[in-house]
Amino acid sequence: MAKYDSNSLRNIAIAGHGGTGKTSLCESFLFLSGKSDKLGRVDDGSSSLDFEPEEQKRHISIGSAINFFEWKKCKINIIDTPGDSNFLMDTKYSLRITDSVIVVVDAVGGVEFQTERVWRYADELSLPRMIYISRMDRERADFSKTLNDINTKFGKKVTVCYLPIGSEESFKGLIDLMNMKALIFDDPKGKSRKEDIPEDLVKDARAYRETMVEDIAECDEVLMDKYLEEGDLSIDDIQNGLRKGVISGDLIPVICGSALNNTGIVPLMDIIVTSLPSPIDQGAITGKEPNTEEKNERTPDENAPFSAMVFKTIADPYAGKLTLFRVFSGTLTSDFVFYNASKDLSEKCGNIFYLEGKTQVPVESLIPGDIASLAKLKETSTGDTICDPKAPIVYDKVPLINPIVHYAVKPKSKGDEEKIHSSLNRLIDEDQTLSIHRNPQTGETILSGVGQVHIDVTLEKLKRKFGVDVNLRQPKVPYRETIKGKTRIQGKYKKQSGGKGQYGDTWLEIESLPKGSGFEFVDKIVGGVIPKTYIPAVEKGIVEAMAEGLLAGYPIVDIKVSLVDGSYHTVDSSEMAFKIAGSMGFKKGVQECQPTLLEPIADISIEMPDEYMGDVIGDLNSRRGRVLGMDKEGSNQVIKGQVPLAEILSYAPDLTSITSGRGTFSYEISHYEELPAHLQEKVIAESKKEES
């Protein structure tokens, strides 16, 4: 492989809605550049980028895949990102470390829901981008309709650089609007021959070219003056102006094609080289001094201190952990001892590899802008900043997507509990949107993810990579118990069975507290009717009884207990006796104070296209939810509301069904409210059934 400098690098994320042909486009790049000797296909499992068994089974990208090819003296690193909402965290991290994005839009489906989300991510990072309208050879492919959809949703920065010749089965080439020539693709290896523009397309071509030239001229005062004087721009002016407009974010070029037929892909590769930014074009990146808020910068200079960001981790039970990163400044060589500024520790860099899908290619050193991997790092994980220990810096991590699907998980085989935790923690290294924790209230081990497919894929990996098989069930709702009344009650424990007996006598006042107050114990004993040494035991007995609950076994909260009176025996009293007496009195007293169940209420945010809003609101109302407000997010609607947690434990597949897969949601527990009486009876009955 030829030697490259940072000016000759292009780092590009290929992003968009799932199923738009992103992986097929990447495979076409690799084939037409000569990197691979055959065109990989997603449908038959021959893709070099969708190589995981779970990807081949579902025909979707589950994780970002990395490869590179050489074109016109440039090394082009491509990251094929997932478009499924279950795996968008990988996409977010990929955008964080790239210099530009090719947004893939299906010529049949138009701008779909996840494409809009990816576009917003790119906006947040101010990333230069271009749009590739894919699958022009498909039935019902419509360039004009798709372009209108793009303009409506993404604004007026969009600039058409190539027009299609034909569509569906008759799609055979492009009109190059810069050179005003037709490019006819009748060679399976993607080569084209130039012809005059077909007569029926000349008028459209001239109109689109005029718009393109005006858009380019508006990005540069010198070009605008020249355009106003001469009425046109030269080819060099157009190319230079387009590059400047793309890098500044003022222009977004549009090109179309068919990756499966290799039609229109070579012009796309050309425009990648001529118009998309190098790491040098993107300039310095801002970070912070470790443990401070003081900002610092690193320039993409080989002589600057080394710094890089980890954007992906791959867990392999045999090969160990593979850590993928992008160099922002300086150079990296094997055996360099780097500093992990995110975790305040040092690790030794072993062998460095370029990735070609799942294949690792050794490389001696890296320059600013390059993307590579390291094997068997012990502590470094996704999002970490690694750097020269003499010049530490920390780059901002990408905010995680909150999990919305939760399951109680148990091993199918006895004795696999420890193995479940260790294996899942290995997968969490790979995918930080997974989480596992033990719910102390219910005693369940909870596995959480961002969607049902996410959980399904995790379980398949768990079994394939680590040999662990598990059962899932819906987790218990963490209800709580409280009281609405007050009472004064005696708790007395007396036991005599020969020899020393047991004696403890307490009088308790029990009353409710405001929501969220927790528990308050008040010692009101005067005159020594109960010795001070026994009073902590009374409180301990009450606390233990609170943890067990009385109605359905859930913890009791928001309650005040005052120890106001009692008596003791000089011989038979003990801490244990007063602990039992306190517990007995508390349990009896709670029964007299109108005990009730509380349920967790979640703040929920639901995003979906406008046409589904009525159905979503109706469904939310049926779940005892309430709408608190509505906002706009791009062309979508966002409903803000509150809903009982019990009603949304299986909401993810239901929302998918209601919105045809175009809705997403997030939630977090807000507070507790009293559970309606008819539902309390059901919860209590189920609890008693479990006990029996």
Q: Are residues 159 and 271 in the same domain?
A: yes
pLDDT at 179: 95
Please say whether the beta carbons of 556 and 482 come within 8 A.
Answer: yes
Quote the CA–CA distance of 346 and 335 in Å, as a whole number.
Answer: 12
- Tens of pLDDT, residue by residue over 381-407, are 999 999 999 999 999 999 998 888 999
Q: What are phi and psi of 287, to 5 degrees?
A: -135, -165
Residue 3: pLDDT band with limits 50, 70, 90: confident
Q: Are residues 51 and 182 in the same domain?
A: yes
Question: DSSP secondary structure string, 444-457?
Answer: -EEEEESSHHHHHH
Q: Are residues 307 and 277 in the same domain?
A: no
Name the domain boundary from 334, 356, 387.
387
Please state, rounded to an integer, the average pLDDT across all residues of the chain: 92
pLDDT at 601: 97
For residue 434, the Cα-to-chain-centroid distance in whole angstroms is 9
Name the domain boundary from 536, 569, 593.
593
Quote the CA–CA distance of 629 and 649 in Å, as a whole number.
Answer: 22
Q: Are residues 652 and 537 in the same domain?
A: no
Q: Are residues 343 and 415 in the same domain?
A: no
CATH of residue 535: 3.30.230.10
Quote the CA–CA distance of 626 and 629 in Å, as a whole number.
Answer: 9
Over 90: is that where the pLDDT of 236 sits?
Answer: yes
Structural domain range at position 353: 285-387
In the chain, what is the straight-line distance between the N-terminal and C-terminal CA atoms, in Å?
A: 71
Quote the CA–CA distance of 183 and 681 in Å, as a whole number.
Answer: 73
Q: Are residues 184 and 71 in the same domain?
A: yes
Please say whether the beta carbons of 479 and 598 come within 8 A.
Answer: yes
Residue 188: pLDDT band with limits 50, 70, 90: confident
Residue 191: pLDDT band with limits 50, 70, 90: confident
Has residue 203 been placed in a domain? Answer: no
Name the domain boundary from 282, 303, 325.
282
Q: Are residues 190 and 96 in the same domain?
A: yes
Tell me which DSSP letter residue 8 carries. G
Torsion of CA 433, 438, 439, 442, to 10 degrees: 130
Torsion of CA 33, 35, 41, 42, to 10 degrees: -110
- Tens of pLDDT, residue by residue over 496-514, are 776 778 999 999 999 999 9
- Tens of pLDDT, residue by residue over 321-371, are 899 999 999 999 988 999 999 999 999 988 899 999 888 899 989 999 999
CATH of residue 611: 3.30.70.240
pLDDT at 319: 64
Of residues 258 and 440, more confidently modeled: 258
- Within 10 Å of residue 502's Cβ, how many Cβ atoms? 18
Name the least confident of 54-63, 209-218, 534-543, 560-569: 54-63
- Tens of pLDDT, residue by residue over 128-155, are 999 999 999 999 999 999 999 999 989 7
Which amino acid, one-letter code, is at 608? M
What does each C-alpha distance from 241 to 232, 237, 267, 628, 676 come to in angstroms? 13, 6, 18, 48, 66
Has residue 205 been placed in a domain? Answer: no
Phi-psi region of 21 (alpha: psi -120 to 50; beta: other; left: phi over 0): left
Residue 60: pLDDT band with limits 50, 70, 90: confident
- Tens of pLDDT, residue by residue over 487-500, are 999 999 998 776 77
Predicted TM-score (pTM) of this structure: 0.86
Q: Are residues 559 and 539 in the same domain?
A: yes
**By C-alpha distance, which of 112, 107, 67 is closest to 85?**
112
Has residue 395 been placed in a domain? Answer: no
Residue 51: pLDDT band with limits 50, 70, 90: confident
Residue 318: pLDDT band with limits 50, 70, 90: low
Over 80: is that where the pLDDT of 691 sits?
Answer: no
pLDDT at 231: 85
Quote the CA–CA distance of 40 and 61 in Å, as a whole number.
Answer: 14
Give the mean pLDDT of 435-449: 88
Q: Are residues 169 and 254 in the same domain?
A: yes
pLDDT at 15: 97
Number of domains in the chain: 5
Give the mean pLDDT of 616-628: 96
pLDDT at 1: 64
Quote the CA–CA distance of 688 and 683 in Å, as a whole number.
Answer: 9
pLDDT at 294: 87
% of the chain at pLDDT higher than 90: 73
Q: Are residues 268 and 353 in the same domain?
A: no
Has residue 647 been placed in a domain? Answer: yes
pLDDT at 317: 67
Q: Are residues 278 and 290 in the same domain?
A: no
Give the mean pLDDT of 97-116: 95
**Angle at 288 (CA atoms; ends 283, 294), nearest 5 degrees:** 115
